[in-house]
Homo-oligomer: A and B are copies of this chain.
Amino acid sequence: MILELQSPLDMHLHVRDAQMLRLVAPLSADSFAGAVIMPNLVPPVTSVDSVEAYRSRIMQAVGDNEHFKPYMTAFFKNYTESELLALKDHVFGLKLYPAGATTNSEGGVKGMDEAESTIRLMEEMGIPLLVHGESHGFVMDREEEFLSVYRHLAQKYPKLTISMEHITTASAVGLLDEFENLVATVTLQHLFITLDDVAGGMLKPHLFCKPIAKRPEDREALLEAALKAHPKLMFGSDSAPHPIHAKESCGCAAGVFTAPLALPKLAELFAKHDCIANLQAFVSDNACKIYGLTPPKTSVKLEDKPMSIPSSYEGFGQKVIPMDAGETISWSII
């Protein structure tokens, strides 16, 4: 069986910078027509200049491949009206991190109150707000506790498109149907794993990410929504490479590297559940409709022939271990 996907999009991607960027960006460009690029560099991306410089470095890393479009974001902070007006045509959206919630988010928002003047301007200018939605509470409760913030923002700013990034709970899935202006992305790993896979047997650093994988009933709800291509749910891998020494160590960084295997894994998953016809919407059409995107016209062919996931991806002095390293899956990119 052969499946042809038109212009697949990764709506949440970390490509890092420098040598790591050179290693991982081409791996995304091999699969995807475009990707929403996270701005949590050190220092974070917060100006027209830094957005455009980062875009240039990404395009250089992918060999100026015109079939791959980076949708740039800027790191949410309190911007003035003139700063936002300047940024507006250079970014896809702003990415809001609660301070300290994940990798390189120390400069994030300390309290949501302080963020609202900028959020109001974003609504007026039609700039989407992408949110890492976690409280600072107990790790298994953080997303659930943040839902009240989404409710508040969705009600108060009805014309603002708010994306709940990398949702992990059944409650967040439920919220999609409550507010017209709330949408969401879901990662590859959260369709497959629960906390059991991270910490139920051996502890698995390469499956450790933020938000952490939750309970079986949460995974079921995410999977059900993805398989039926819920029109407000988009694929966003949150593929987040770390060098191996930052993962297999006494303090392992959060992030799962999935970009090069995401489409074959998704094809295998959707085929297994007899939902292969819905994959196009999940990995591209939903996002195009929600945001009015016109990505580069590419197509990717997948086939139900086995592929081995490499034990690592190496180059430019970097070594990254992917999810399911060394395992065989039943679909591959032709």
B251 lies within 8 A of A195 (CB) = no
B residues less than 8 Å from A203 (CB atoms): 203, 205, 208, 251-254
B204 lies within 8 A of A208 (CB) = no
In the complex, which of the residues B139, B202, B215 contacts A251, with contact meaning CB atoms closer than 8 Å? B202
B253 lies within 8 A of A139 (CB) = no
Tell me whether A205 and B208 are in contact in the complex, defined as CB-CB below 8 angstroms, given that A140-B195, A198-B199, A215-B140 are known contacts.
Answer: no
A252 lies within 8 A of B139 (CB) = no
How many whole Å from A44's CB to the nearest CB in chain B?
Answer: 19
**Residue interface mask A187-205, B partner, CB < 8 A = 1:** 0000000111011111111
B residues less than 8 Å from A198 (CB atoms): 199
Q: Which residues of A contact B (CB under 8 A)?
A: 138-140, 194-196, 198-206, 208, 212, 215-216, 247-254, 321, 325
Residue of B nearest to A251 (CB): B202
How many whole Å from A245's CB to the nearest CB in chain B?
Answer: 10
Residue of B nearest to A253 (CB): B202
B residues less than 8 Å from A208 (CB atoms): 199, 203
B residues less than 8 Å from A250 (CB atoms): 204-206, 247-248, 321, 325
A163 to B202, CA, bound (A): 25
A204 to B139, CA, bound (A): 14
B138 lies within 8 A of A140 (CB) = no
B residues less than 8 Å from A248 (CB atoms): 248-250
Most chain B beta-carbon contacts within 10 A, residue among A205, A212, A253:
A205
B215 lies within 8 A of A138 (CB) = yes
B residues less than 8 Å from A247 (CB atoms): 250
Shortest Cβ-Cβ A-B pairs, 10 listed? A202-B251, A203-B252, A139-B200, A203-B208, A139-B196, A248-B249, A203-B205, A248-B248, A139-B195, A199-B212
B residues less than 8 Å from A204 (CB atoms): 250-252
A318 to B203, CA, bound (A): 21
Residue of B nearest to A326 (CB): B250
Residue of B nearest to A204 (CB): B251
Residue of B nearest to A100 (CB): B201
A203-B203, A206-B250 known; 12 new pairs, CB 8 Å cut-off, are A138-B195, A138-B196, A138-B200, A138-B216, A139-B195, A139-B196, A198-B199, A201-B251, A202-B252, A203-B208, A205-B205, A205-B250
How many whole Å from A222's CB to the nearest CB in chain B?
Answer: 16
Residue of B nearest to A103 (CB): B202
How many whole Å from A226's CB to the nearest CB in chain B?
Answer: 21
How many whole Å from A297's CB to the nearest CB in chain B?
Answer: 39
Residue of B nearest to A142 (CB): B200
B residues less than 8 Å from A194 (CB atoms): 138
A-B contact pairs, 15 of them (CB 8 A): A138-B194, A138-B195, A138-B196, A139-B196, A140-B195, A140-B215, A201-B251, A202-B252, A202-B253, A203-B208, A203-B251, A204-B251, A205-B205, A248-B248, A248-B250
In the complex, which of the residues B196, B200, B205, B254 contacts A252, with contact meaning CB atoms closer than 8 Å? B205
A247 to B250, CA, bound (A): 8
